[in-house]
Amino acid sequence: MNAVLLCDGVKVAMRLKFNEDGLVERDEIAKVVKGLMDDDGNEIRGRIKELRDDAVDALKEDGSSTRAICQFGNTLESFVNNM
């Protein structure tokens, strides 16, 4: 499930193909490594940078994660005060 999300959903990884014995052959590893060093790798690195930048922004003082945590804390405080 994680591989599907990273490869097909978020598109920040390349999937290795397993043979009928459930093993990854050296040619497959070489193909994926070459792909990561090629244009596919540039696209993946670009998406990773975008995700990293979004995460950094979310954690800033006025970021979405910080605001959500503050709102959650305020909701809990209000709940406790109304008990």
pLDDT of residue 22: 96
Angle at 80 between CA 79 and CA 81, to 5 degrees: 90
* Distance of alpha carbon 48 from alpha carbon 50, whole angstroms: 5
| Domain-wise residue ranges, the chain | 2-81
**φ/ψ bin of 28: left (φ > 0), alpha (ψ from -120 to 50), beta (otherwise):** alpha
Give pLDDT, residue 82: 87
Burial of 47 from C-beta contacts in 10 A (0-12 / 13-18 / 19+): middle
Task: Please tell me the class of the 2-81 domain.
Answer: alpha beta
Classify 62 as helix, strand or coil.
coil
- Write the CA distances from 39 to 3, 47, 52, integer angstroms: 20, 13, 20
The pLDDT profile of the chain, 83 residues, written as one tens digit per residue, is 799 999 999 999 999 999 999 999 999 999 999 999 999 899 999 999 999 999 999 999 999 999 999 999 999 999 999 88
